């Protein structure tokens, strides 16, 4: 068998090969949802992704006998290093055939690039940050992922551990169908929160002040998550970029704020699970026939799930039950709009209060994700 060679991405042909590889690797895997190719291209474009204002990425391709058999990106995240000063770099965009020799060569290449930049540890996968598609799927391979969550083969975990990675954090995706949610408990909880806090109101995102509302949500998020494991704050350009990217798929009644005397103090942002429509696209190409199919599937009921992707409560207003209040309003609004089920993800394994609350509402642990780290 020919030797494995690993080389950095340099040419336009290399960039295309890096982009193309996962679509071929997962062809025939029925639970894989091909991400939009344009999104994948843009996230690695320094002219379009504000991550590159503070971060750097080096991409690598693995080849054997002239055929691409794997890819990886080594990532330096300036925001992470500014906050933690822990010497950690990252890896992401990791896809590989079922051959440890290929995985080892790719991980060695990424580790070497990080060492050259003076970094002493590596964590991942992040594509390219914790605020993007992040984590490795380690449980729940028999179901497709929700929007903006990864899917990978089960053998990836063993490859990482064999190289020297250990699990750094476990994250859960919770799922609930309207037929199984504990509606009485949810409604009673929301009523108690409102009764104890009469100055609190819940409102939907205002499309007339879209940018301002998204900026307010990001300010809450950065403060609410500041002490959470692995959190890296959004920069202002990143927040504006996120707003622009997400605007076409945001439904106002699924993006909620809790306000105290008119000031936002908590938010919950949910998205239609468009993966239920994107799975119909051939190799992630949103061609002339692709867009009508996606929109038609969405609007005609083929998208029946939502994903609560972000939630935050300002630290000084915790323990008021605002998370339960926002979950209640999200589910009520989603049902009114025709959605039948919700995924809340992901939730850090150390967040026991939220996990307990979700389980009491009837939510079940549907998928398990993990972050891995190793010393260099």
Same domain for 195 and 122: no
35 close to 148: Cβ distance less than 8 angstroms: no
Planar angle of CA 116, 118, 124, nearest 5 degrees = 85
Verify that 134 and 148 share a domain, yes or no: yes
Residue 375 lies in a domain: no
Q: Report if residue 34 sits inside a domain.
A: yes
Split at pLDDT 50, 70, 90, the class of 290 is very low
Q: End of a domain among 158, 173, 188?
A: 173
- Cβ density class 51-81: b for 16+ within 10 Å, e for less: beebbbbbbbbbbbeeebbbbbbbbbbebbb
pLDDT at 152: 98
What are the φ/ψ torsions at residue 346 (nearest 5 degrees)?
-95, 165
Return the pLDDT at 298.
Answer: 47
Average pLDDT over residues 222-246: 91
Band of pLDDT at residue 370, cut at 50, 70 and 90: very high
**Residue 257: inside a domain:** yes
Contact 129, 44 (CB under 8 A): no
Residue 96 to residue 84: CA distance in whole angstroms: 30
Contact between residue 68 and residue 17 where contact means Cβ atoms under 8 Å apart: yes
Q: Are residues 205 and 329 in the same domain?
A: yes
- Residue 239's domain is classified under what CATH number? 3.40.630.30
pLDDT of residue 282: 59
Residue 326 lies in a domain: yes
Same domain? 252 vs 299 = yes
Both 231 and 278 in one domain: the answer is yes
Residue 251 falls within a domain, yes or no?
yes
The pLDDT of residue 121 is 99
- Residue 164 shares a structural domain with residue 43: yes
What per-residue confidence (pLDDT) applies to 289? 42
* pLDDT value for 281: 67
Are both 157 and 210 inside the same structural domain? no
The tokens for 203 are 């409102």
Q: How far apart are CA 102 and CA 151, in angstroms?
A: 19
pLDDT surpasses 70 at 300: no
pLDDT in tens, 166-217: 999 999 999 999 888 888 888 898 899 899 999 999 999 999 999 899 999 9
CB 349 within 8 A of CB 157: no
**Domain containing residue 108:** 4-173
Residue of 240, 233, 222, 228 whose CA lies nearest to 314: 222
pLDDT at 303: 87
Phi and psi at 258, nearest 5°, equal -100, 130
How large is the average pLDDT for residues 319-347?
Answer: 94
Single out the residue in 173, 189, 217 at which a domain terminates. 173
pLDDT band for position 239 (cuts 50, 70, 90): confident
Q: Are residues 197 and 342 in the same domain?
A: yes
346-370 mean pLDDT: 94
Helix (H) or strand (E) holding 113: helix 100-116
13 lies in the same domain as 51: yes
Residue-wise pLDDT for 97-147, tens only, equals 999 999 999 999 999 999 999 999 999 999 999 999 999 999 999 999 999
Rg over CA atoms, the chain: 21
CA–CA separation, 65 and 4 (whole Å):
8
How much is the average pLDDT of 309-322?
94
pLDDT band for 5, please (50, 70, 90 cuts): very high
Q: By percentage, how much of the chain surpasses pLDDT 70?
A: 94
Least confident of 95-109, 216-230, 239-253, 307-321: 239-253
CB 8 within 8 A of CB 58: yes
pLDDT for 85-94, tens place per residue? 999 999 999 9
Q: Tens of pLDDT along 242-277?
A: 888 888 889 999 999 999 999 999 999 999 998 988
Is 147 part of a structural domain of the chain? yes
Distance of CA 5 to the CA centre of its chain: 31
Backbone dihedral region for residue 301 (phi beyond 0: left; psi -120 to 50: alpha; all else: beta): left
One domain, residues 143 and 196: no
Q: What is the mean pLDDT of the chain?
A: 92
pLDDT in tens, 48-74: 999 999 999 999 999 999 999 999 999
Name the pLDDT band for 154 (thresholds 50, 70, 90): very high
In this prediction, residue 183 carries a pLDDT of: 84
Note the pLDDT of residue 2: 78
pLDDT of 288 strictly over 60: no
Together in a domain, 122 and 10: yes
Helix axis angle, 210-224 to 236-246, nearest 10°: 130
Whether residue 373 lies inside any domain: the answer is no
Contacts of residue 78, defined as CB under 8 A and 6 or more positions apart, other chains included, come to: 54, 55
Q: Is 209 a member of any domain?
A: yes
Give yes or no: residues 24 and 127 share one domain: yes
Q: Which of 151, 173, 195 is the last residue of a domain?
A: 173
Between these two residues, 269 and 287, which has the higher pLDDT value? 269
Q: How many domains does the chain have?
A: 2
């Amino acid at each position: 068998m020919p030797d494995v060679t690993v080389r950095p991405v340099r040419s336009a042909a290399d960039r295309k090969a890096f982009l193309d590889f996962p679509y071929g690797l997962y062809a025939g895997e029925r639970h894989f949802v091909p991400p939009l190719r344009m999104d994948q291209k843009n996230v690695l474009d320094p002219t379009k992704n504000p991550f590159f204002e503070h971060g750097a990425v080096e991409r690598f391709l693995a080849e054997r006998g002239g055929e691409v058999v794997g890819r990886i990106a080594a990532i330096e995240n300036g925001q992470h290093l500014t906050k933690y000063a822990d010497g950690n770099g990252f890896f992401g965009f990791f896809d590989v055939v079922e051959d440890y020799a290929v995985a080892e060569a790719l991980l060695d290449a990424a580790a070497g690039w990080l060492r050259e930049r003076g970094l002493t540890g590596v964590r991942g996968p992040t594509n390219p940050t914790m605020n993007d598609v992040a984590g490795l799927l380690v449980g729940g391979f028999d179901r497709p992922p929700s929007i903006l969550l990864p899917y990978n083969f089960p053998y990836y975990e063993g490859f990482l551990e064999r190289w020297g990675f250990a699990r750094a954090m476990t994250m859960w995706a919770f799922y609930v169908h309207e037929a199984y949610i504990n509606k009485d408990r949810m409604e009673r909880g929301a009523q108690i929160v409102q009764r104890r806090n009469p100055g609190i109101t819940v409102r939907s995102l205002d499309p007339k002040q879209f940018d301002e509302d998204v900026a307010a949500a990001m300010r809450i998020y950065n403060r609410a998550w500041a002490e959470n494991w692995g959190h890296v704050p959004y920069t202002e350009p990143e927040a504006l970029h996120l707003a622009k990217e997400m605007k076409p798929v945001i439904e106002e009644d699924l993006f909620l704020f809790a306000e105290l005397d008119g000031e936002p103090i908590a938010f919950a942002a949910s998205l239609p699970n468009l993966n239920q429509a994107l799975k119909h696209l051939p190799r992630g190409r949103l061609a002339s026939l692709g867009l009508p199919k996606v929109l038609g599937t969405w609007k005609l009921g083929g998208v029946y799930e939502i994903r609560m992707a972000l939630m935050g409560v300002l630290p000084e207003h915790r323990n008021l039950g605002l998370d339960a209040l926002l979950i209640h309003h999200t589910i009520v609004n989603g049902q009114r709009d025709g959605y039948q089920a919700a995924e809340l993800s992901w939730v850090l394994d150390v967040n026991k209060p939220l996990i307990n609350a979700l389980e009491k509402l009837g939510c079940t642990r549907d998928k398990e994700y993990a972050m891995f780290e190793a010393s260099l």
